[in-house]
Structure formats: C-alpha cells, structure tokens
Chain A
Amino acid sequence: MVGKGILRGLTTTARHLLETYLDDVKKIPSRYAYDRHFIKQPLEEKGIFTIQYPEERRVLPERFRYVPMLLYDADTGEDRCTACGICAKVCPTQCIWIVREEDKTGKPLPRSQEFYIDISICMGCGFCAEFCPFDSIKMNHDYEIAVYNRYPDLVLSKDDLVVPTTYYAQLYPEAWAAEERAREEERKRKAAREKALAAKRAAKAKAAAKKKDEQKDAGK
C-alpha cells in the first residue's frame, strides 16, 4: 500500500512528541521549578534528551576528566608533587613544564618550584593523572574555563592549579575511599612490620644478653 511507510513514520514522530510531553508532565517537581538542576538521563527516559544548559547540567561521573589539577594535603598543607617529571614525560602535547626546586648546593629537592600547564593545548587525555606515582595530579571536573585572552590566561601556574585533597575527596568519592583504604593498609602493614622488627630486636637483645650471661657464667 502506498503511503503505509509514511503513515508509520508519522505515528512514530507523533509518539515521540506525546511521550516527551507526558514525560514532562509526570516529573514532580517539574524540571523548570528551580534555577539550576543536575540531570542524569535515566535508561528508561522516553521523552526528549535535551539538557538545557546552562540552567540544567549533567551529573558528571566520577571519572570525568577535563583539565588537570594539583593536590596538596589538606591536613599538612604540603604538596603531594615531588617534581619527578613523569607527567611532563607522558604528556602527549608536552603542555606541562616543571622547574624542580634545588637547595643552595644545587642538590635537587623533592618539590616543584614552578609548575605550568598550558591548557590551551592540553587534550584532556588524563595520562598525567593515570601515571602519577604519588597521586598528586588528578583531573578536575570544572569545565567552564573560558577566558578573554588565551595567553597568558590559559597557561595555568601552580597557584591556579593547586586544590586541597578535600576537594578531590568530594569529586572522586570512590577513588578517595580506595586510596584511604590503601593508605590504611599501608599504615597497618608498616606498624606490623615495625612491631615485628621491634620484637625481633628485643629477642636479639635478649639472646645477646643471655649469651653474655652464659659467657660470664662460663668465665666464672
């Protein structure tokens, strides 16, 4: 029958229109009720998929990556970065450059004096965060980074990059929990090792003392 295909098409379009409308009506509170919304598309979503940025925003998954950030310990205020340079070496666009701190004799210290990332050429691949051995560089979720002048506003220095670990814990709850667990285990292992070492030492001392006593006895 000529026209059947077109009728089918029209019914599909009409259904989509209706579903979008019903979906909107069913939502309580309405998606237009507050100023700002964070939206996660459910898998059952039938209506329109549009998110009306900037009034509405997507809920970002934990692994979302945009540009890097540098962590400092919120408790001690110390940088986690040791200026080992691995991030600068794996960076595909070579947009990271670091000046390592040195003491007066020229001996390198495990700290960075300057740390720059040119985010106008950063491609957001996340290698720096992936390969950092000290968990000091992570990917930030802040994607609204528009500026008026790309140079020097888009060349971020250390002051622009550092964030406390508490901020990281908030963005990456799962990764943070895993890290905490690992640290706790490490601490326990270290404590156990020290305990064992102390016990060993004590035993050794005891044995030595005993030997000495025996020698003394033998001497007598």
Chain B
Amino acid sequence: MAQAQSAVATESLPYNDVIPGAVVGRDGEALIVNREKLLELARYLRDHEGYDYLSSVTGVDNLTHPKRQGVERFEVVYHLYSTKRGGGPLVLKARAPEDDPEIPSVVSIWPGADFQEREIWDLFGVRFPGHPNLRRILLWEGFNGHPMRKDWKEAYYEEEHKPYSSRWPYGHYPREEYKYPWQEERAVYKDNLVFPKGFDPDRWQAPEVEYRLGQDIYRELEKLKTDRIIVNIGPQHPSTHGVFRMVVALEGETILGLEPEVGYLHRNHEKIGERNTYLMNIPYTDRLDYINSMSNNLGYVLAVEKLMGKVEVPERAKYLRIIMAELTRVLNHMFAIGFLLNDLGAFFTPALYALEERELILDLFEAASGSRMMCNYMRPGGVAYDVSEEWVAQAKKLVFERLPRAVDELDYYLTENEILLARTKGVGYLSPEDAIAYSTSGPVLRGSGVPYDIRKVEPYCIYDRFDFDIVTEDGGDVYARYMVRIREARESLKILRQALKDLPGGPVIGKKKYTFRIPPGEAYQRIEAPKGELGFYLVSDGTANPYRYHVRSPSFINLTALGPMCVGHKVADSVGILGSIDIVLGEVDR
C-alpha cells in the first residue's frame, strides 16, 4: 500500500523519468533523494543540467525536530548552483537511518565536497563510502562522540537552550561558582576524560597523510636520487596566518603532496549557535572572519530574514548595510594584499601601508557600531544604530579622496615590482574547471577567469541598483588573485560612491525585538563576502532558537584547492599560494 502510494507520488517528481526512483519526495523546496541513486543523479545533474557548482554540503540531525519525527535521523543537504546559468539553488537531501548512517560520497563528482563531507563525518558521524580520505578534520581521533548530534552534551552543559533559567530572578549562578572555584574544575580533562572505544592515547600517532596527488611529478623525479621527506609547516608559523598546519611531502624542494590540517581553533561555533537565540548569534558571527565582521553580520541577518519571511527593512538601513559591507571588502582586500607580500618576504612594510587605511575604516566602524572589529551592527530588520551627518561626511571624504589614492598607491608600489612578478606569475595555477569543481569562491574563483559574483548572479540586498562590474583575471595564478583584489577594491569604491551619494534619510530599524519566534522551515542565504561565498544554513523548529545553524565558510572550502595548487611547486611557494587564498582561521575552524 505504502509502496503503491510512493510510486504514484514519484511520477510527479522531477528527474525520475531519467533516473527512475532517484527522487522520492519533497521537503519544501528540497528534493529528497534515495541515497542508493544519489551518485547517479548527481552525475546527471552535473553533466546534463549544468549544476556544476556544489556550494554547500551539510548535515542535520533530525532527532528532536518536532516536525520530523518518524523520518530517518540523519540528513545530508546539498545546495547546487550553476555557474553558467546563475540563479537559485537546487537543494537535494539524502537521508540515512540511525543504525546505518551511510551516504555515498560525491567527491568523485564535485571534489569540493571533500572537506565538507569530512566535517559531517567528524561532527555528525555520518560515513561517506567512496570518500578517498575520510578521517576527522576539525577534532582529533581521540575525541569521544560526534558533537553536532543532538544527544551530545558539551563540557559546561547547563541547559538545552539559552537564556538559562538560573540567571534570573534568583541568580543561582554565584552559588555554583562557590562550589567550583573556577569552571575548569568541571571540564572534561581530569578523571572524567573519556576516549572512544579502542583508543589508547599513549599509542596514538598522528594519521599518515595520504597523497593522492602529484604522481606524475614523482615519476619525473624518479630519475634523481632524492629522499622523500615530510615537512610540517605550522601550526606555529608566521606564514600560516594563525594556527594552521600544512603537511607537505617533499622530494628535494618540490612538493609532491600537501594536506591542510585544521581545527586548532575549533570551538564548535555551530553547536553554540544552536543553543543561542537568533539574536545572540549575531555577535558570535563577528568572531568567524574577524577581519570582516560586518559582512558576517550581514550574511547572518539576511538568512534570518529569509527564514522569517517578509521583513521590512528601512531604506536607509539597506544603504548602510551596503556601505558597511563594501567598506569591509576594501579593508579586507588591502589587508590580504599586504599580508600576501608579507608571505612573499617583503616583511611588513607593504602590510603596514595597507593597514593605514584600515585604521581609518575601523574608526568609522567604531563610531557607527561601538567596536572596531567585533562590530555586531546588523539586526534582522535593519541595522542597530543610525550614523550621524558627521559620520557620512567623514565616510565621503574617505571614499572619494583617500581610499582611491591608497589603492592607486598600492598598485603603483607593487604591481610591476619584478620580485613580485617573479614570485607570483605562473605560481599556484588553478584552471577554471578545477576552480569550479573544487567549489572555490571569491577572488580565487574569479582569478581563474570564472565570472561568478553572487552580487550579480543572485543579487541580495540592493546590489541590483548599483553599477559595477564583475572582476575576472584569466591567469589563474597568485598574481591573478592579487590583481582581482586590487581591481575589486576599486569596484567596491565605485559602489560606495554611489551608495553614499544617494544615502536616504529616515529610520534605520523598526521596533527592536530581542526574541523572535520563527515558524518551522529552513533557509540558505549566501552572500559575496570579501573572501568568497559565505553561506548560512538555518533550520527552524518554531522555537526561539535555531534548530540547525551551519556556516558555509569561504576560507575553509577554498582550502580544498590548496593541495592541488601547490603540487609541483617549490616549498617556498606554498606559503605564497596560501597567502593568495587569504584564509582566516577563525572561519576555517569555526
């Protein structure tokens, strides 16, 4: 009976005429896919339907979702886009029951799923048969359990959701404090440390890095008599922009294979986010990519607004959001260029010249929001505070006079420098096909000649009102990415000039609310953050806290392409290539 019903239902679903039985249902906009047919369907979608860009892969644990009782526990959600057609996503969902959490890996179709599937295995414990290197990515092997599962409790577990009831009106919290002089006494590091079954910390060795790459180079080098050595660059190394490790296999000085090792700054941002209310997450997003807190805020509030449905944003707030986001982009690109030069050996002189303008932009942020880096400025339905006339005058002065001059100076100072050219031209080549396949985004994708900018292909906010161009460079190397950043900073200034000129008056936010109840549903909102495509995936279960909160961070996914880009180059170039990706570890490790 049930089978007959589903047979009738499947006929009306798309793609079932090509691959029978692939799509078994709908969940909102998403198509629910039979996991046995997932690979077949994925290959068809990529080859015949043009869905070549896998934006985000993430997991959901349906254990306690009130509307999803009775469905399989684990769910893997794929957001597919087409770089040629542009437009909205195709959302696929594959489900797996609790006792058999396995979903076939799509790495063979979209290599960009590599790190994301490892992350799902790490945090949810869903296996991906067919994945070439399925080991934990953010946590270490001795970590007990999979923390994003709904039945996993963290070290300081107090209550399911914030706000905690102990804080008010009777303030029991200090009494707890007297019992435990400092909370570290309650942490899982003394007697209550638990390892997974069969794990012996004394015998543990870091897993050997698998080299899937660079076999051709190896054959070439076989003629020479050299030893293969493994070098760890990082985690404490100035060139890695934070605590980040590159495990490099070398033959002489040539890189045979490179594996990024991340997770040193992991704090389970997403689990914290699921305990928070919607509003509380905004200051936490500041800490993702701490250089561009304004655009993180923007991405998150846009996702919340999408989930809430119709939200009126005042006109002035719309303009202020654009102004802040574009100032952030200028700031980030100058920062990235400065530190790329730092990585190439021009120690701190260019970086500090680039940082001077950043100071002035941060002063503006501080005057508007109260903080230089952790801005916490956007709110669902507008922005937190209005800016004064004086602020606008300052911003105009900066945008019309000082910043263009600074970008020109940086250009004059660096672009034709022989050393820069020698170190960057032809280094770290990424072909356009690979750039799309590895799901890279932002300047890395556009540096490979793919004209894909979310502000144009899927406009959000009011970007469709401004006149600007998508910047692309055909080189595909470090130099091309550098040039994309310089030119994009100019395009941002173009937007800023238009936005500041027509900045309207009026309110910046409706009634400020500190708690939202959002009807059950889900939303994926992506924006063109300075580092690439920043996406927020939210699932609501009708309460004041998000049921699932996922960050698709550009730095993390751009790192997938680091290994392939570095193979065949000298070890010194790997530092420059990493600098050209422009990662921030707060966002990579989350």
Contact = CB atoms under 8 A, between A and B. Distances in A.
Answer yes or no: do A and B interact: yes
A80 interface: no
A92 interface: yes
Contacts of B164: 94
Interface stretch (A6-14, A182-190, A192-200): A6-14
A8 B514 contact: no
Contacts of B397: 43
A64 B163 CA distance: 26
A151 B282 CA distance: 28
B169 A5 contact: no
A116 interface: yes
Contacts of A41: 359-360, 363
B371 A100 contact: no
Q: Which secondary structure dominates where chain A touches chain B?
A: mixed
A187 to B, nearest CB: 24
Interface in A84-98: 85-86, 88-92, 94, 96-98
A56 to B, nearest CB: 14
B587 to A, nearest CB: 17
Contact of A98 (B169, B412, B415, B514): B169
B359 A97 contact: no
Contacts of B417: 5-6, 8-9
A117 to B, nearest CB: 11
Contacts of B359: 41, 49
Contacts of B416: 4-5, 8
A43 B402 contact: yes
Nearest to A12: B413
A90 B514 contact: yes
Contact of A61 (B349, B367, B402): B367
A94 B283 CA distance: 13
Given A65-B370, A116-B173, A92 B413 contact: no
Interface stretch (B174-182, B448-456, B487-495): B174-182
A70 interface: no
A173 interface: no
A105 to B, nearest CB: 16
Contacts of A94: 162-164, 167
Size range of the chain B interface in the assembly:
35 or more
B163 A89 contact: yes
Nearest to A115: B171
Contact of A3 (B355, B414, B418): B418
A126 interface: yes
B169 A85 contact: yes
A161 interface: no
Contact of B413 (A3, A9, A124): A9
Interface in B343-379: 349, 353, 355-356, 359-360, 363, 366-371, 374, 376
B398 interface: yes
B279 A5 contact: no
A63 B514 contact: no
Contacts of A23: none
B421 interface: yes
A33 to B, nearest CB: 23
Size range of the chain A interface in the assembly:
35 or more
B296 interface: no
Contacts of B177: 151-152, 155
Contacts of B173: 97, 116
A125 B512 CA distance: 16
A12 B162 contact: no
B168 A97 contact: yes
B279 A90 contact: yes
A179 interface: no
B545 to A, nearest CB: 12
A97 B176 CA distance: 12
B157 interface: no
B412 A126 contact: no
B284 interface: yes
Contacts of A89: 163, 167-168, 514-515
A2 interface: yes
B204 interface: no
Interface string B60-90: 0000000000000000000000000000000
A92 B283 CA distance: 8
Contacts of B166: 97
B420 interface: yes
A8 B280 contact: no
Contacts of A125: 282-283, 374, 376
B276 interface: yes
A16 B171 contact: no
A99 B162 CA distance: 18
B54 to A, nearest CB: 32
Contacts of A13: 349
A132 to B, nearest CB: 10
A153 to B, nearest CB: 12
Contacts of B290: none
Interface string A1-38: 01111101100110010000000000000000000000
* Residue of B167, B369, B384 ringed by the most chain A CB atoms within 10 A: B167
B394 A63 contact: no
A92 B280 CA distance: 5
B419 interface: yes
Nearest to B379: A130
* Residue of A3, A13, A94, A131 ringed by the most chain B CB atoms within 10 A: A94
B284 to A, nearest CB: 7
Contact of A123 (B171, B356, B367, B374): B374
30 contacts: A3-B418, A5-B417, A5-B419, A6-B418, A8-B416, A12-B353, A43-B394, A45-B356, A62-B367, A63-B367, A63-B368, A63-B385, A65-B371, A83-B169, A88-B167, A89-B515, A90-B514, A94-B164, A96-B167, A97-B171, A99-B171, A116-B173, A124-B371, A125-B282, A125-B374, A125-B376, A126-B376, A127-B279, A127-B283, A152-B177
Interface of A: 2-6, 8-9, 12-13, 16, 41, 43, 45, 49, 60-65, 83, 85-86, 88-92, 94, 96-100, 108, 114, 116, 123-127, 130-131, 139, 150-152, 155
Given A65-B370, A125-B376, A130-B384, 17 more contacts: A6-B418, A41-B363, A61-B366, A61-B367, A83-B168, A88-B167, A89-B514, A92-B280, A92-B281, A92-B283, A116-B173, A123-B283, A123-B374, A124-B371, A126-B370, A127-B283, A150-B182
List of 10 A-B pairs having minimum Cβ-Cβ separation, nearest first: A125-B283, A85-B168, A5-B417, A92-B280, A100-B169, A63-B370, A5-B416, A99-B171, A97-B173, A97-B171
